[in-house]
Every structure is written in C-alpha cells, then in structure tokens.
Amino acid sequence: MINPLLEKFETPFETAPFHLIKEEHFLPAIEEGIKRAKKEVSEIVNNPAEATFENTIEALEAGGNLVGTVAEIFFNLNSAETNDKIQELAHSISPLLTEYGNDIMLNEELFKRVKSVYDKRETLNLGKEESMLLDKTYLGFSRNGALLNEEDKNELREIDKKLSGLSLKFGENVLAETNAFELLVDDEKDLKGLPDGAIEAAADTAKDAGKEGWLFNLQYPSYIPFVTYADNRSLREKMTLAFGSRAFKGDEFDNKENVKAIAQLRYKRAQLLGFKNHADYVLQRRMAENAETVNGFLKNILEAAKPAGVEEVKKLNAFAKELDGAENIQKWDFAYYNEKLKQKEYEIDDEILKPYFKLENVIQGAFHVAKKLYGIEFIENDDIPKYHEDVICYEVLDKDQSHLAAFYADFFPRSGKRNGAWMTSYRSQKMQGSKNIRPHISIVCNFTKPTSSKPSLLTFQEVTTLFHEFGHALHGILANGKYGSLSGTSVFWDFVELPSQVMENWCYEKECLDLFAKHYKTGELIPEDLVQKLRNSATFMEGYATVRQVGLASLDMAWHGVNPNHISDVSEYEKQILENTDLLPGITSSNTSCAFSHIFQGGYSAGYYSYKWAEVLDADAFEYFKEKGIFSQEVAQKFRKLLSSGGSVKPMDLYKEFRGQEPDPKALLRRAGLIK
C-alpha cells in the first residue's frame, strides 16, 4: 500500500495531501521518519572530519524533515479534527517521538561534536543568525540532559515519556467533558434575554442532534452568549458550573491527579537538570529570564489594577441591586450584569455591533490590513487539499507577486476540535541551499456559525480574536530567515504574543474598520459614533479583566515556580493562590487548573504571564504606529523586518531596532485607562 506521507507531496506548493491521508498512514510514516533521522545523525557522528559549524550544527538543523512534517500534520489534526483513532494513535506516537527526541539530545558522541563547535565559537567569525543557531543548539542539548550521567539520562527519558502521556490525557479529558455537556431548553420562556442569533443557533444544534427545543453546549459560541444574556439565573448557574467543573468531577475524566503528576514531574525534571524548579528552567530562555522578574512584573500590574477592579465589582453589585434587586453577584451573574451596565453606560453591545461583522468581511478586512501594511495578497485556492470542508485555503503573494506562503483558515466549532483559537504551521520557512522554502500556516478558531437565516456574524471579541491569530499567522507568513528552528514564531515565548496582540489595536480604528465593517444587509459602513462608543467602552471593567489575567498567570507560576510535591489538594491549593485576585465569591465545584489547557497541555507552562508581558510591547509599538499613522509605510516596513527576523536576533535587540528605544512599561497602563 502506498503511504502518501512517505511520497513527495504532488500538491500545490507541496502542501499536506489531506485527501489521501488515512489514520493508518501515520504510525508507519513516523517510524520511517525516525529511522531516516537517526541515519542522518549517525552520519554526523561518524564523520571523520573535525566538527565544524557546517558539518555538525547546520547538518543537524537540516535533518529530521520527514518526522517533523508527519508529526506537524498529525498533532495539528489531533487538535483541530481529532477522532477516537487519532487519539488512540497519539498514545503510541507521542512516546515514540519523546524517545526519539531523547535519543538525539542524549547522544553522547553527537553532543561532543556540538560542544566542540560551541567551545570555539569565539574564533569562528559566525554571523548573528549562525551564532543564534549555535547557542540554541548547544542549550537545546544541555537543557535536555546532555551533561547528565547515564543513570540520570535514563531517569530523564522516563520522566519525558510520562509527561508526554499525561499531557495528552489531560487534553482528551477536557475535550471529552466539553463535548459531554448539553443543556436542552424546551420552554421558550427560558430563552428570554437571549439574542435571536443565539436562539436560532441553538434551534439548529437541537435539530442536528435530532432533538426538540433549543440545545446549548460548552463550546464558546454557545456558552458565552448564554451566560451573557440569558435572564434565567438558574440556567446561567447550571451552564457556569458545568463549564467550571470540566475534568473536576472525580470521574474517569478527572484531571486532579494529572495536574499534580505533571507539575511534580516537571519539577523533578528541572531539578535533575540543575534548576531550582520548572519556572527557572523555562525562563532561562525567555525575555523575563527568571521567576523573580515575572513575579515582580505581575505584582506591579496587580497593584495598578486591583483598586480599579475592586471598585468595578462594587459598582456592578450596586447596579445589579438597582436593576432587579440582585445582591452579592456570583460568577454566573458577572457577564450578565456586566453586559447590561456596559449597554447603559455606553449604549453599545454585541447585538448592535454584530451586523457589521460578517465573518467573510472580517476575513477580507484582515487581508486588506496586511496588504496596506506589507503589500501582500491572499488568493483563495481550492486546489490546496483540506482536512475538513469548513477549511478555506489561500495562496499568499508578496508585493512583487512572488509566492509567499500557503494559508489555511478554520473558523467553526465541531466535536473533533478543541475549544479556543490558535495559530499553527504545517511547514516552517527556511533556506535549503539557495532555495527559499516558504511556509504553510494555519489559524484555527471557534466562531459563531451561520444559521439558516443569517450568515456568521461575529461578536467584537471574535473580531479581535481573528485579528490576533492573524497576527501570529503574519509572523509565520513573512518569515525570511536561514534556519527553520529560528524562523517565524520560533522566538522567546514572552515575545511571541507581540505580533498577534498588536494586530488587535487596528480593530478600534475607524480608518481600519471602514475597510470591512459594513452592515451585512444594507452595506452601510459602521457609523463614527458607534466606533467612538466602542473605543470608549474598550477600558470598561479593565481593572477586573487585568486582575483576572494576573490571577491566571499567578496560578501558572504557583504550579511551576515551587516544589509541588507538598500539594495534596488541587482545589485547596488553587483557592489559596487565587485568593488575592478572585474578586467574586468562589465556587467549590469549579476548578481552573483541571481545565487549564494552556499550561498543562499547550506550551504556556511558566509562560502564561507572556500575554501581559507582550501587551506592554504591543501597547508601546502601537503608540508608534499612531504617531506616524496606522498604515505608515515607514513603521510597517520596520515592523515587517521584526516579523521576518523570527528568532534570529534577541527579542529586545529586535524591538529596539524597530522602536528606537526599549518599550515604555506605562504604555499598557495608559491604554487600559489605569493611569493617565
């Protein structure tokens, strides 16, 4: 049987041949990829010539192409279009890849050659990019056990294998719990307060499930409108408790033991490698550098935001009491009264805004912004194979009409897709000899679906989410470096959110909104007064929102910046950590950690602070755009250089080259309205 993963991809731009790939192709392709990669390593190790940058560091960088490509395709599908077979396969493939990675990193002879090159780095006259690759390669080995003795290396292998399985299980449990809950409403009066679009979508969901009535679930496009608008308080409570208790019910999908085990194994691994804890291990390769800097950064933001957050909650309580006699609002009340107060103060809400944000228009708007800034174009291409019919594929052209990238966009929720939104890649940009291998980039979201009578109309938060992920995509699309491991989003984790978060700023500018925000029925452009209300409301409840983000980042640091072996009760521990940032009464049946996929399944462990850290950078960067004009070619070309450089230059050096100075930490607090 021909395995398409082992053949040259005869597709446009050599994109993944999804139309030919079956689940049974993955394991043999991974095994063959590992075999080829090990042969490449063997050739490097057995090269009789003295170790050089070219025959060791560059040779290692150029290897492992097949296993990398197949793994990217497989794990992207496991996030965006999984099924029982793929999940089962993941439990075989993950340990194989972990073992393969360790076989490389713990190969003594290979490390000797790498170290030999590293030790004479001062005499090699390397360029900036080559120096970064050498540093990254050497640290990659030393940070993954190359300096350990044989016994410790074996222990590290076992830890990594266990961590890989636990992380998969954690994610599967959250997905299973998200998919398991349904709220069937059969009495129309229980829909009171809900927007027509949410009601129609729930009717369609019920119909698809063969049920009478209106069906709501924990996917964001269903959950968020329900807890924001439904007048029925007991049903809001039911939805909120279901969401907050995912993987925290003491059943087969419970993540409490997984959380403890992951944290303990990460700590043990860090100690084995000579670090105080997992946070210190992670932060060695971050702009922040250490846990002390992160905790100080979070403390400073909390000091600025908490007084505002406390006052905002008091104000909301007073408003709720005045509105309908509600006292001591709970977590299932917050979004509801928050929205009503916002409507009262700013005369704006998502139902007023949504008609101006038809999904197709917003997509074209993001493309138009990219064209005005960087001169690039997105051309829909139906010949590129896709993994699901909802996916839209594009070719991206540079300003000289040369091919720049292939781009996938996947916008709607389904049972095989995890919640949230993310950017990923199927192939990174790199140079292969004189050939510039262009990237294959994807964004995956969970937006409001079209209904039988309306197109997909986005909430403003969904609009900013699309621009956010598109910012990540541009980081990958515009990559123009020499090495794949330093290309695109392969940058320090607390720098990676700058390109995405800065893009959100354009969504508040009339000059940008006029490119795409037009009423889906009348074609009328979004009115100036509505944009002004949108801007005015941008800092509404910003104190509360900032405190919440600091709470999540603090929870992350609390799991990873300590010895977690003393933690016996996940719920009690979390309660202690969040005490200082939880501005609403706690819920005993809810737990954040057990569904905190960012840090226990994704790559954000000891890194959740990055969102706030990068907000400082993006607020400062956008102030520069505002000074010169939001479509200033002078600033855009400087920013394109920052994007195209990827991880080939240290982040602060790259930022200073763009901005001419270090970022002003107060830019974030100014934008948030927390200081004048």
pLDDT tens for 190-199 read 999 999 999 9
Q: What single string gives the DSSP state of each residue in 320-354?
A: HHHHH---S--HHHHHHHHHHHHHHHHS--HHHHG
Question: Spelled out in words, what is the top-level CATH class assigned to the domain 4-147?
Answer: mainly alpha
Would the CATH topology of 4-147 be identical to that of 355-523? no
Residue in this structure with the two tokens 């809900």, named with its chain if needed: 194
- For the residues 584-606, what does the mean pLDDT come to? 96
Distances (CA, A) of 525 to 463, 465, 513: 16, 21, 8
Question: What confidence category does residue 279 fall into, taking pLDDT thresholds of 50, 70 and 90?
Answer: very high
Q: What sign results for the dihedral spanned by CA atoms 566, 571, 574, 579?
A: negative
Distances (CA, A) of 463 to 221, 232, 358, 418, 649: 13, 28, 10, 19, 31
Can you tell me the distance from the alpha carbon of 644 to that of 642, in angstroms, rounded to the nearest whole number?
6
Domain boundaries, the chain: 4-147, 181-244, 277-345+539-676, 355-523
Give the H/E segment covering residue 442. Answer: strand 440-444
Can you tell me the distance from the alpha carbon of 425 to that of 416, in angstroms, rounded to the nearest whole number?
19
Question: Spelled out in words, what is the top-level CATH class assigned to the domain 277-345+539-676?
Answer: mainly alpha
- Tell me yes or no: is domain 355-523 CATH 3.40.47.10: no
Phi then psi for 518, rounded to 5 degrees? -130, 145
Would you say residue 82 has pLDDT above 80?
yes
Q: What share of the chain is helix, strand, coil (3-state, %, to 5)?
A: 60, 5, 35
Question: What confidence category does residue 627 fall into, taking pLDDT thresholds of 50, 70 and 90?
Answer: very high
Q: What average pLDDT does the chain have?
A: 96
Alpha-carbon Rg for the chain, nearest whole angstrom, is: 25
Would you say residue 520 has pLDDT above 90?
yes
Position 311 scores a pLDDT of 97
Give the H/E segment covering residue 422. Answer: strand 422-427
58 is catalytic: no
Would you say residue 21 has pLDDT above 90?
yes
Position 516 scores a pLDDT of 98
- For the residues 399-421, what does the mean pLDDT come to? 96
Can you tell me the distance from the alpha carbon of 116 to that of 661, in angstroms, rounded to the nearest whole number?
37
Q: What angle do CA 266, 271, 273 make, to 5 degrees?
A: 95
Q: Which long-range contacts (CB under 8 A, 24 or more apart) does 385-389 make?
A: 385/11, 385/15, 385/16, 385/17, 385/18, 385/19, 385/20, 386/18, 387/16, 387/18, 387/77, 387/80, 387/81, 388/80, 388/81, 388/414
- For the residues 500-515, what does the mean pLDDT come to? 97
DSSP annotation of 508 reads G
- On whether the CB atoms of residues 237 and 334 are closer than 8 A, the answer is no
Position 58 scores a pLDDT of 97
pLDDT tens for 235-259 read 999 999 999 999 999 999 999 999 9
Catalytic residue, candidates 469, 497, 509, 574? 469
Can you tell me the distance from the alpha carbon of 638 to that of 636, in angstroms, rounded to the nearest whole number?
5
Report which residue type is found at 163: L
Question: What confidence category does residue 67 fall into, taking pLDDT thresholds of 50, 70 and 90?
Answer: very high
- For the residues 573-580, what does the mean pLDDT come to? 97
Would you say residue 676 has pLDDT above 80?
no
Position 197 scores a pLDDT of 92
Question: What confidence category does residue 669 fall into, taking pLDDT thresholds of 50, 70 and 90?
Answer: confident
Contacts of 483 (CB under 8 A, 6+ apart): 61, 129, 133, 430, 431, 648
- Report yes or no on whether pTM surpasses 0.85: yes
Report the SS3 class of residue 529.
helix
pLDDT tens for 104-156 read 999 999 999 999 999 999 999 999 999 999 999 999 999 999 999 999 999 99
Position 1 scores a pLDDT of 77
Residue in this structure with the two tokens 């805004």, named with its chain if needed: 353
Can you tell me the distance from the alpha carbon of 449 to that of 648, in angstroms, rounded to the nearest whole number?
40
Q: What sign results for the dihedral spanned by CA atoms 594, 599, 600, 606?
A: negative
Say how many Å lie between the first and final Cα of the chain, rounded: 68
- For residue 3, the tally of other CB atoms under 10 A from its CB is 16
Position 665 scores a pLDDT of 84
DSSP annotation of 518 reads B
pLDDT exceeding 90 applies to what percent of the chain? 96
Question: What confidence category does residue 512 fall into, taking pLDDT thresholds of 50, 70 and 90?
Answer: very high
Q: What single string gives the DSSP state of each residue in 6-25?
A: GS---SGGG---TTT--HHH
- For the residues 527-540, what does the mean pLDDT come to? 95
- For the residues 512-541, what does the mean pLDDT come to? 96
- For the residues 313-341, what does the mean pLDDT come to? 96
Would you say residue 361 has pLDDT above 90?
yes
- On whether the CB atoms of residues 57 and 134 are closer than 8 A, the answer is yes
pLDDT tens for 437-494 read 999 999 999 998 898 889 999 999 999 999 999 999 999 999 999 999 999 999 998 8
Q: Residue 305: how many CA atoms within 13 Å on its side-chain side?
A: 30
Report which residue type is found at 548: R
Q: Dig out the tokens for 195 from the structure.
A: 């927007």
Position 294 scores a pLDDT of 96
| Length, in residues, of the chain | 676
Can you tell me the distance from the alpha carbon of 585 to that of 135, in angstroms, rounded to the nearest whole number?
48
